[in-house]
């Protein structure tokens, strides 16, 4: 009990708790509102269809041992993004705590610098994929394992008992292989391991004297040779035994390109390395925040500023427990500062080189993950730079700016991800209100509320709602496919190209340009439009690409006589309130059945609730219904709400429908007159 009390009262434990509070303030405010993003859709669909062992097939093409994380994670968390988010949060926190442990063992007297470096690493605003917790479970597990591996190496060097030293080296090596097996470009972290060993081998505190160069070199070799197995064994396996089926992770393919034009590639690498280094060290602290600020209303920033204030408060409590720069300095003088600087520079370079060598680059919009290892170096450089500022107020002000920037960046990032989740959920709830069932083999083309970079962003949620089981008993095959809304799809649809087979990570799809159904949400205020090629209704805000292929959209793929499917609570959450779009979707469904009375009834109910269209095109089914039942008063009420394009389309549709002569005359005057 006394030992437990001593641990709880220890400075390291208290600092870890304070790091927990700061991390919680940054990463937890929106965690319950995060859903599936990007690759999460096909990962969770495949696991739901075939079970957790499907991850062996999915990751076999490039990183087969990612299954070691994802299989147990799926057994523990199932398909619930909240649990993955909490796990990712814990792993991110542990990576920061382990980093602090390493720094305290290497530079035990530099308490302010080591804590500030660990804090800046934990809050680093250049890594923006934390909310994408399912797909990044392996990234964050690898980061935490890598930090722990290095910490155990340092601890093994300092251990006096040979049994303890052997055990520490053993687990350090195992964890080293594990973290590299998750993400190969994390290998830059090995520079940090051997740099720490070198510093300890050169530290006079070890043997109470510096020793000559030969002595330090022999000491370094003696301490480093066990863990050289980590990168060497991994690289031998990766280069000579494992064959990647993915170009971005195929080393032979990437270096084959280098040999074809070495000078050109070298110059390009150097330019990219320079730009990315500046991004990691400086741009990360303001570019992401600047990019996201345009999507955050002024009122929303109040909560973000409150979080930033709390982060500062907790940080200063932590710093009050650590000597400020200049206090408790050892006789080593400024030597430790030079060590931190060259390790910081080295970590940025070695953290980025494995990424750049395979043709990738830092991009805060899509590739923020590539800052993760290099952020170790950025944190060290900022920490030693702040430590060197003699004026306490200036040092405090600059550190506060960094912490506020990081706090606001993570707040805005969480808010954007929460909004994207809500928008995607709303989209598919509307689809579920409109479409009872989709015919197997249908290819969806969607104008999406979120960026759709891959087809599974669309077929993933569609299959989770309508066909959660695989269409084939032996492998993963969705029943519904998708094609991205791009020039290639437009050309394929217009040319009526046959089905296109794809086998992505063992998931087989057969998109067919001849069997498309278009779903479009023209603006955030619009309802989802199910485009009918036989009666094309297009919002004035519609994408021209939708217009180019709208006539090919076939609502015959909607199985009207089937029971409606309720989207599963995970990941679509509960059914949203029945606002205007609910009545619009039900009205367009009733219109497809030819039930004009039901369309009119829905319109009247929406009116009684003071609901109105967010897009003028959404009035057309109600105009048609009121025209068919000769309710001219309602037509007259709706007409002023239409823009010119919608009024023209309504006139066109109604001119060919079977209406009474009196109604037709009035429709012509209300909707078709050039003076209207």
Q: What is the pLDDT of residues 523-536, one digit of tens each?
A: 999 999 999 999 99
pLDDT of residue 74: 98
Element (H, E) at 445: strand 443-447
Which residue would you say has higher pLDDT here, 195 or 213?
195
- DSSP class of residue 323 equals P
pLDDT of residue 178: 97
Banded pLDDT at 452 (limits 50, 70, 90): confident
Residue 249 has pLDDT above 60, yes or no: no
| pLDDT higher than 90, residue 520 | yes
Mean pLDDT over residues 469-486, rounded? Answer: 95
CA distance 673 to 676: 5
Is the pLDDT confidence value at 5 over 80? no
Average pLDDT over all residues of the chain: 91
Rg of the Cα atoms in the chain: 30
Is residue 657 pLDDT above 90, yes or no? no
Residue 206: is its pLDDT beyond 50?
no
pLDDT tens column, 551-562: 999 999 999 999
Q: How confident is the model at residue 330 (pLDDT cuts 50, 70, 90)?
A: very low
**For 205-233, what is the mean pLDDT?**
78
Higher local confidence (pLDDT), 258 or 514 = 514
β-strands 516-520, 507-511: how paired?
A: unpaired
491 or 160: which leads in pLDDT: 491
Closest CA relative to residue 375, chosen from 624, 26, 120? 120
Q: What is the pLDDT of residue 153?
A: 97
Residue-level pLDDT at 660: 86
The answer to whether the peptide bond before residue 571 is cis (omega within 30 degrees of 0) is: yes
Of the chain, the percentage scoring pLDDT greater than 90 comes to 77
Query: For tokens 């792993």, what's the residue?
Result: 91
pLDDT tens profile 56-102 = 999 999 899 999 999 999 999 999 999 999 999 999 999 999 999 99
Q: Is 508 helix (H, G, I), strand (E, B) or coil?
A: strand
Query: Which one, of 612, 615, 588, lies nearest residue 599 by Cα?
Result: 588
The predicted pLDDT at position 10 comes to 67
pTM of the model: 0.93
Q: How far apart are CA 446 and CA 518, in angstroms?
A: 6
pLDDT of residue 671: 87
455 close to 481: Cβ distance less than 8 angstroms: yes
- pLDDT at 496 > cutoff 80: yes
Mean pLDDT of 377-400: 94
Q: Please indicate whether residue 664 or residue 265 has the higher confidence score (pLDDT).
A: 664
Q: Given this model, what pLDDT does residue 227 score?
A: 95
What's the confidence (pLDDT) of residue 211? 56
Indicate whether 236 pLDDT > 70: yes
pLDDT, residue 674, reads 54
Nearest to 294 by CA among 126, 417, 125, 412: 412
Q: How far is CA 536 from CA 247, 348, 519, in A?
A: 42, 54, 12
Give the pairing of strands 529-530 and 516-520. antiparallel
Give the pLDDT band (50/70/90) at residue 332: very low
The whole-number pLDDT of residue 656 equals 78
Lowest mean pLDDT segment, chosen from 244-258, 461-475, 498-512: 244-258
In which band, very low, low, confident or very high, does the pLDDT at 258 lie, cut at 50, 70 and 90?
low
d(CA 230, CA 211): 28
- The confidence band for 513, taking pLDDT boundaries of 50, 70 and 90, is very high
C-alpha 674/C-alpha 671 separation (Å) is: 9
Integer angstrom CA distances of residue 301 from 29, 309, 418: 14, 12, 15
pLDDT value at position 365? 87
Q: Which tokens is 381 given?
A: 């450089």
Residue 125: strand, helix, or coil? coil
């Amino acid at each position: 009990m006394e030992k437990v009390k001593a641990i709880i009262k220890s400075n390291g434990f208290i600092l870890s708790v304070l790091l927990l509070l700061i991390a919680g303030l940054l990463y937890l405010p929106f965690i319950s509102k995060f859903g599936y993003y990007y690759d999460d859709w096909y990962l969770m669909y495949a696991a739901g269809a075939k079970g957790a062992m499907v991850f062996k097939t999915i990751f076999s093409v490039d990183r087969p041992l990612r299954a070691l994380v994802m299989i147990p994670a799926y057994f523990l968390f199932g398909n619930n993004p909240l649990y993955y988010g909490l796990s990712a949060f814990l792993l991110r926190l542990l990576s920061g705590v382990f980093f602090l442990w390493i720094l305290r063992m290497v530079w035990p007297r530099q308490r302010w610098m080591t804590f500030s470096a660990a804090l800046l690493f934990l809050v680093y605003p250049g890594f923006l994929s934390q909310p994408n917790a399912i797909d990044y479970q392996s990234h964050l597990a690898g980061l935490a394992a890598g930090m722990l591996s290095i910490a155990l190496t340092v601890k093994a060097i300092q251990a006096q008992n040979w049994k303890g030293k052997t055990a520490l080296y053993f687990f350090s090596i195992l964890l080293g292989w594990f973290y590299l097996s998750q993400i190969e470009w994390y290998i830059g972290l090995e520079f940090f391991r051997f740099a720490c060993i070198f510093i300890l081998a050169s530290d006079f505190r070890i043997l109470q004297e510096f020793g000559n160069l030969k002595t330090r070199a022999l000491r370094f070799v003696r301490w480093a040779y066990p863990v050289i197995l980590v990168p060497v064994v991994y690289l031998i396996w990766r280069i000579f035994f494992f064959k990647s089926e993915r170009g971005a992770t195929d080393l032979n393919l990437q270096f084959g390109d280098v040999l074809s034009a070495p000078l050109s590639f070298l110059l390009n690498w150097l330019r990219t390395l320079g730009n990315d280094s500046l991004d990691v060290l400086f741009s990360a602290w303001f570019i992401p925040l600047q990019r996201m600020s345009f999507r955050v209303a002024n009122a929303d920033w109040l909560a973000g500023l409150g979080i930033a204030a709390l982060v500062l408060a907790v940080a200063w409590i932590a710093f009050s427990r650590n000597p400020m720069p200049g206090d408790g300095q050892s006789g080593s003088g400024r030597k430790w500062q030079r060590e931190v600087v060259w390790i910081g520079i080295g970590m940025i370079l070695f953290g980025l080189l494995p990424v750049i060598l395979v043709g990738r680059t830092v991009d805060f919009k899509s590739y923020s993950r590539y800052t993760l290892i290099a952020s170790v170096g950025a944190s060290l450089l900022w920490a030693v730079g702040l430590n060197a500022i003699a004026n306490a107020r200036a040092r405090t002000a600059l550190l506060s700016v960094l912490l506020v920037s990081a706090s606001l960046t993570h707040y805005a990032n969480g808010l954007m991800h929460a909004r994207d989740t809500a928008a995607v959920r709303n989209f598919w709830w509307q689809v579920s209100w409109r479409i009872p069932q989709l015919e197997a083999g249908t290819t969806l083309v969607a104008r999406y509320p979120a960026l759709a970079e891959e087809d599974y962003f669309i077929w993933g949620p569609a299959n989770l709602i309508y066909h959660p089981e695989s269409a084939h008993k032996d492998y993963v095959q969705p029943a519904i496919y998708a094609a991205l809304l791009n020039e290639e799809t437009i050309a394929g649809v217009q040319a009526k190209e046959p089905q296109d087979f794809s086998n992505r990570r063992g998931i087989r799809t057969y998109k067919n340009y001849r069997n498309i159904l278009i779903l479009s949400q023209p603006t955030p205020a619009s309802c989802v439009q199910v485009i009918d090629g036989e009666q094309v209704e297009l919002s004035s805000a519609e994408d021209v690409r939708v217009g180019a292929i709208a006539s090919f959209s076939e609502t015959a793929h909607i199985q009207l006589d089937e029971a409606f499917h309720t989207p599963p609570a995970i990941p679509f959450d509960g059914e949203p309130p029945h606002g205007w779009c609910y009545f619009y979707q039900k009205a367009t469904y009733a219109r497809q059945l030819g039930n004009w009375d039901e369309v009119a009834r829905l319109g009247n109910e929406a009116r009684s609730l003071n609901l109105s269209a967010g897009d003028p095109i959404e009035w057309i089914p109600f105009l048609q219904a009121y025209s068919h039942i000769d309710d001219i008063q309602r037509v007259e009420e709706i007409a002023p709400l239409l823009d010119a394009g919608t009024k023209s389309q309504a006139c066109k549709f109604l001119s060919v429908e079977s209406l009474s002569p009196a109604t037709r005359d009035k429709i012509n005057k209300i909707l078709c007159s050039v003076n209207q």
